[in-house]
Copies of this chain bind each other. A is one copy, B any other.
């Protein structure tokens, strides 16, 4: 078994080490170590090393697991079309990301960045700010992360609707879900647009100049998904022209975001370093999820979080197998029942 990792290794893999020959491998040695491996655990989920190393293996690993919800770094033909089972870390980040998004919504509404800026200048800068009760929010992505966001924003008083693959009116978390094709039509009706969709061919560039132009002048865009959901140049233009009021990006085309990127200083843009889901303890939870799946794999039992490699996510809109602070086997197995809904985001 090969663990693709940098200098930090997943914690608590001793049970796996007792049962298997585990090799911890950096990106530049993956092609040398992958041949003969039955299992590949992609701990460094940002790595792009897997597609390049894949042809080196005579026989592909039977199982690849990634320590993230998004599987876009593993979207290559040989893996998609082969027999390898792909699993992800769906469920680990849902609650933390939802809280992060609510924090951003409130930071925008209460102008917390303006308050911190005034504090740095010792400036008593009294303002009236916005309330959020009853205001509309649109969550793009109706997988477990989008659902957790919808539930929490609703609990805080926002009027939430969703965008998913298919329209429906009686969704338990969203109430109304609009079909993705309706996005531009419904964007003028909302104050907060939250992106929590998987990155697929269908979702790439969904927020472009036309979508941004459809948004309200006072609206804010929050992306906790993947950067290419948004056409960055179009967002830069929209913020420069003031056609939307603000945005928060937790994901970028290149990560870490280079120090000379214009995004750092764009007016109304809040930059955070791909951390919305990374709560204290999340590494342990991620590793535990793998250990539990490894146990299932050894016993020949169905794995948690099997990704539909053609859809690019785990089908089924319900909660994932693990939530922050909960042992993974206390919660139901995902990936069964329900229609194929984006099941996603980050990390």
Q: Contact check, B273 vs A129: say whether CB atoms are below 8 A apart.
A: no
Q: Contact check, A275 vs B129: say whether CB atoms are below 8 A apart.
A: yes
Q: Which residue of B lies closest to A278 (CB)?
A: B128
- Which residues from B are CB-within-8-Å of A270? 115-116, 119
Interface residues of A in 118-155 (CB under 8 A from B): 118-119, 122-134, 152, 155
Q: Roughly how many angstroms separate A132 CA and B324 CA in the complex, as a whole number?
A: 11
Q: Which residue of B lies closest to A250 (CB)?
A: B115
Chain A positions near chain B (C-beta within 8 angstroms): 95-96, 99-100, 102-103, 106-107, 109-110, 112-113, 115-116, 118-119, 122-134, 152, 155-157, 255-257, 259-261, 264, 270-275, 278-283, 324-325
- Which residues from B are CB-within-8-Å of A116? 113, 116, 270
Q: Contact check, B107 vs A112: say whether CB atoms are below 8 A apart.
A: yes
Q: Roughly how many angstroms separate A115 CA and B274 CA in the complex, as a whole number?
A: 11
Q: Contact check, B278 vs A126: say whether CB atoms are below 8 A apart.
A: yes
Q: Contact check, B256 vs A124: say whether CB atoms are below 8 A apart.
A: yes
Q: Roughly how many angstroms separate A132 CA and B133 CA in the complex, as a whole number?
A: 20
A-B contact pairs, 20 of them (CB 8 A): A99-B131, A112-B112, A113-B116, A115-B271, A122-B261, A124-B257, A124-B273, A125-B273, A126-B273, A126-B274, A126-B275, A126-B278, A127-B275, A127-B278, A128-B275, A128-B283, A129-B278, A130-B280, A152-B157, A155-B157
| Nearest CB of B to A105, in Å | 9
Q: Contact check, B271 vs A132: say whether CB atoms are below 8 A apart.
A: no
Q: Contact check, A272 vs B115: say whether CB atoms are below 8 A apart.
A: yes
Our pick among B113, B119, B129, B256 for the contact of A279 (Cβ within 8 Å) is B129
| Nearest CB of B to A109, in Å | 7
| Nearest CB of B to A240, in Å | 17
Our pick among B106, B133, B264 for the contact of A122 (Cβ within 8 Å) is B264
Our pick among B118, B127, B264 for the contact of A119 (Cβ within 8 Å) is B264
Q: Roughly how many angstroms separate A274 CA and B118 CA in the complex, as a whole number?
A: 13
Our pick among B128, B255, B260, B324 for the contact of A133 (Cβ within 8 Å) is B324
- Which residues from B are CB-within-8-Å of A122? 259-261, 264
- A107, A272, A281, most chain B CB atoms within 10 A: A272
- Which residues from B are CB-within-8-Å of A283? 128
Q: Contact check, B103 vs A99: say whether CB atoms are below 8 A apart.
A: no
- A107, A129, A324, most chain B CB atoms within 10 A: A129
Q: Roughly how many angstroms separate A283 CA and B131 CA in the complex, as a whole number?
A: 14
Q: Roughly how many angstroms separate A256 CA and B100 CA in the complex, as a whole number?
A: 31
Q: Contact check, A133 vs B103: say whether CB atoms are below 8 A apart.
A: no
| Nearest CB of B to A57, in Å | 31
Q: Roughly how many angstroms separate A157 CA and B103 CA in the complex, as a whole number?
A: 13
Q: Contact check, B133 vs A99: say whether CB atoms are below 8 A apart.
A: yes
Q: Which residue of B lies closest to A274 (CB)?
A: B126
Our pick among B106, B115, B123, B275 for the contact of A99 (Cβ within 8 Å) is B106
Q: Which residue of B lies closest to A154 (CB)?
A: B155
- Which residues from B are CB-within-8-Å of A261? 122
Q: Contact check, B110 vs A106: say whether CB atoms are below 8 A apart.
A: no
With A119-B271, A279-B131: A106-B96 Cβ-Cβ less than 8 Å: no
